[in-house]
Amino acid sequence: MWMNKLLAVAIVGALSGCGSSSSEDTTQQSPTPSVTTTQNVEIKFAARVGNEDISCDPMLSLVGLSNLNPEFKDARIYISEVALVNDADELVSVMLDQDKKWQYKNVALLDFETGTGSCSNGNTALNHVIKGTVPSGNYDGIQFTLGVPTELNNYGIDGDDAVSPLDVMGMNWSWQMGHKHLRMDIKGLMIHLGTTGCEVVDADTETVDCSSSRPNRPKYQFDSFNPASNSIVFDYQKLVAGNDIDDMAPSMCMSSSSDSVCQHIFGRLGLDLTSGQCIDGDCSAVQTWIAVE
């Protein structure tokens, strides 16, 4: 009898010890997940005629083969798919601030016209900067697309899906069922860069087929760019250097593949006029009108 009691106590103690060990195992802490920190970034842009900022007032700089003093009517550009190049030579997308005015998803509108003087048909608001965030790190290059991306080119213009900055009427290209990627108008020359060749599939649902289109959407990369100290500069003087501009006999570049007025302009953009694609697949190597300062 005494031996049976002793055996029972030993069994209870052994079971108690097992329970204690199990409890200690389950209270072990899981590893703390790593957290990716981010940093704010502001990418600055400028639009000039030579060394002179584009203005809606009389300008001293000369443009074109005829050495004309440009009288600007409009100067606006959509920029999308912005990425920075980190110190490992990797492209890192910039997550744009969704400010409900200048930026939506991965596209932003740059506005260099003041809505005054010769630009009276525009608006007074200006925007020369794109704001967003990237993972914390060092960056020494930039890549971006000039134009509204394919998935948004036929979206946000009006109606229930209207959203700024895609609903800016001056940048709506209704006859091409999309947006003007770039609009630079002076007295004597209008430049409207946009995707051409899209076809309406269903007007009620605003479904458009652009599979056979000419995108006319140049992509640029600059390998020496510090977002903290550099700016991207568009030079209108260089863009139209090959054009004969006459303010008494206006001409237009409406992105047509057969438009002789566009020939020199497209080449300076780095685009092939026939296909609307980057020349030799690299707009950066061919373009002559954008610089880093």
CA quadruple 112, 144, 269, 197: dihedral sign = negative
User: Which residues are CB-contacts of 213 (< 8 A; sequence separation ≥ 6)?
Assistant: 195, 196, 197, 198, 276
Structure confidence at residue 212 (pLDDT): 85
Structure confidence at residue 27 (pLDDT): 56
Structure confidence at residue 159 (pLDDT): 79
**Cβ atoms of 219 and 145 closer than 8 Å:** yes
CA quadruple 117, 122, 124, 128: dihedral sign = negative
Q: Rounded CA gap, 108 and 70, in Å?
A: 26
Structure confidence at residue 8 (pLDDT): 46
Per-10-residue mean pLDDT of the chain, 293 residues long, equals 44 47 53 81 98 97 97 98 97 97 98 96 95 98 97 87 93 86 98 93 78 94 97 98 95 95 98 98 98 98
- H-only helix segments in the chain: 2-26, 236-239, 260-269, 283-286
Structure confidence at residue 49 (pLDDT): 98
Structure confidence at residue 24 (pLDDT): 47
Which pTM was predicted? 0.87
Q: pLDDT tens-digit profile of 180-209?
A: 999 999 999 999 999 999 888 877 767 888
Q: Rounded CA gap, 237 and 249, in Å?
A: 19
Structure confidence at residue 180 (pLDDT): 97
Q: pLDDT tens-digit profile of 209-219?
A: 888 899 999 99
Bridge partners, 251 (sequence order): 189
